[in-house]
Chains A and B, each alone.
Chain A
Amino acid sequence: NAGVTQTPKFRVLKTGQSMTLLCAQDMNHEYMYWYRQDPGMGLRLIHYSVGEGTTAKGEVPDGYNVSRLKKQNFLLGLESAAPSQTSVYFCASSEQGGNSPLHFGNGTRLTVT
C-alpha cells in the first residue's frame, strides 16, 4: 500500500517550458488536491477534484491546469512555466470531504529558471 505517490521528486525547468506532475493514490479516495508550499506562505490550494472526471479551482489556479481522468490519478500541468511557479508541490487525497483526513504525497520540488 503505497498511499500517495508523486513523480517526479525534483525538476528544473526553463521559463516557458511545460511539464506535467503526476499524482497517484491507491486508497480508492474520492477527493484529490494539489497544493503549493512556499516559505512563509503555508499550503495554498491550486486545484482539487471531488471525483473522477471533476475538477475545481482553488486559491491560486492561474497558470495551472489539472485532469482527473481516472479516480486514482490527478495530473497537474504547467503550460508555460514562470519563475513564480518555483515551489514545492504537494498532492493529497481524502476518502471524502467532511472530517476525512488528507493523505499527502512526498512532494515535488520544482525550480523554474
Chain B
Amino acid sequence: GQSLEQPSEVTAVEGAIVQINCTYQTSGFYGLSWYQQHDGGAPTFLSYNALDGLEETGRFSSFLSRSDSYGYLLLQELQMKDSASYFCAVRRSGNTPLVFGKGTRLSVIA
C-alpha cells in the first residue's frame, strides 16, 4: 500500500518563507507531486520531482530525498493568495494513479 504524511495545518506571515513537509511509504516509487487547492476550487498542479534535489518554479520550490522517503514544498515571499491547501501525491509506478496525502492547510496572516 501507500501512505503519505503531511502536517494538517501551517500558519505563516505574509512575506515570510514556509516549508510543508511530506513523508511517504510506498511499494515502488515514481515521483512526488504537489498540488494546490483554494477553498471551493479544484486542485491545480504545482510541481513534480522524480529525482533527488530541488526544483524551483518562481516563488515555489520542491525538494525530494528518495533515500529518506521525504520531500517538501517551499513557498517564499508569501502572499495572502497563497492561503490554500497543499497536497503531496505519489505514484507507485508509471501507469498507476496518483495517491494523495490528506493535505496541509496554509494560512497566511498579515
Please report A residues at the B interface, Cβ cutoff 8 Å.
31, 33, 35, 40-45, 48, 50, 58-59, 90, 92, 96-99, 101-107
Q: Beyond A50-B95, A104-B44: 16 further Cβ-contacts under 8 Å? A: A33-B97, A40-B8, A42-B102, A42-B103, A45-B97, A58-B97, A90-B42, A92-B43, A96-B95, A97-B91, A99-B31, A99-B50, A101-B45, A102-B35, A102-B43, A104-B43
Chain A residues with CB under 8 Å of B96's CB are 97
Q: Is the interface of B mostly helix, strand, loop or mixed?
A: loop
CB pair B48 A102 closer than 8 Å: no
CB pair A90 B43 closer than 8 Å: yes
Q: How far is the CA of A96 from the CA of B96 in the complex (A)?
A: 10
Please report B residues at the A interface, Cβ cutoff 8 Å.
8, 30-31, 33, 35, 41-45, 48, 50, 87, 91, 93-103
Chain B residues with CB under 8 Å of A102's CB are 35, 43, 45, 98
CB pair A59 B99 closer than 8 Å: yes
Chain A residues with CB under 8 Å of B30's CB are 98
Chain B residues with CB under 8 Å of A50's CB are 95
CB pair B42 A43 closer than 8 Å: no
Q: How far is the CA of A103 from the CA of B44 in the complex (A)?
A: 7
CB pair A101 B48 closer than 8 Å: yes
Chain B residues with CB under 8 Å of A96's CB are 95
Q: How far is the CA of A10 from the CA of B43 in the complex (A)?
A: 18
